[in-house]
Amino acid sequence: EAGVAQSPRYKIIEKRQSVAFWCNPISGHATLYWYQQILGQGPKLLIQFQNNGVVDDSQLPKDRFSAERLKGVDSTLKIQPAKLEDSAVYLCASSSLRTGGNGRAYNEQFFGPGTRLTVL
Amino acid sequence: AQRVTQPEKLLSVFKGAPVELKCNYSYSGSPELFWYVQYSRQRLQLLLRHISRESIKGFTADLNKGETSFHLKKPFAQEEDSAMYYCALRKGAQKLVFGQGTRLTINP
């Protein structure tokens, strides 16, 4: 199956500018996630969509970050205005329900290649 | 608060030596734990889940609720095991909480 696609792969902007990232999940995956990964840290969930509805955006800085998934497929994440501390890799992931060898269902997340954002 | 701690940022071992990547967690509920791996220039991907009790690429991990640990082990390291490894805990239905990661380097 084709993987999660993200664009652009790299973006350099100056602080106070705005930027948008795009994600195309694996076909048929209802759940989509955006993570922020700051250098030296693990990914941190920003927002989770189930189809086109938000499930969890508790760690999204809503004064500057926004995300949408209007048709329940592609998603965009926007930062406006950007700050220096927003420099990070932004990962998109999607998931579906799978059945393990023990017959139990589990949810496996598949990650995209990420967008590396540098804010100068 | 739910937290995953990987105490080693860097770990270097020789090929053929045993490997253990440490992971400790704090969680009030029944934890579901995972190891993710990111090889050079590749995407983050699932390595194994504690529920499955599988051995993937020679790696195993046992959930120790008494010590709140989920260490990843391999008896004989191979050069292709060099990568970033992240321990993660699932909170709620689907949300993952990741540790800071350990960079494993296997020396020839």
Task: Return the structure tokens found at A79.
Answer: 């930062």
Task: Return the structure tokens found at B79.
Answer: 């050069």
Eight-class DSSP state of B33: E
Residues of chain B neighbouring A107 (CB-CB closer than 8 A): 93-94
pLDDT at residue A100, as a whole number: 65
Mean pLDDT of chain A: 92
Of A48, A91, A110, the CB nearest to B94: A48
Strands A105-111 and A5-7, bridge-based pairing: unpaired
Contact B75, B90 (CB under 8 A): no
pLDDT at residue B94, as a whole number: 67
Of A3, A42, A104, the CB nearest to B86: A42
For A85, list phi and psi in degrees, rounded to 5. Answer: -75, -5
Mark the ranges of chain A whose per-residue pLDDT is less than 50: none
pLDDT at residue B93, as a whole number: 67
Residue that is written with structure tokens 């997340």 in the block:
A109
Nearest to A76 by CA among A86, A62, A87, A90: A90
Task: Report chain B (108 residues): mean pLDDT per 10 consecutive residues.
Answer: 92 97 89 93 92 86 90 96 96 83 96
Eight-class DSSP state of A76: E
Terminal CA-to-CA distance of chain A, rounded, Å? 37
Tell me, yes or no, if A104 comes closer than 8 A to chain B by beta carbon. Answer: yes
- From CA B61, how far away is CA B48, in angstroms rounded? 8
pLDDT at residue B92, as a whole number: 66
User: What is the SS3 assignment for A87?
Assistant: coil
User: What is the SS3 assignment for A85?
Assistant: helix
For A50, list phi and psi in degrees, rounded to 5. Answer: -115, 110
- From CA A109, how far away is CA A50, in angstroms rounded? 13
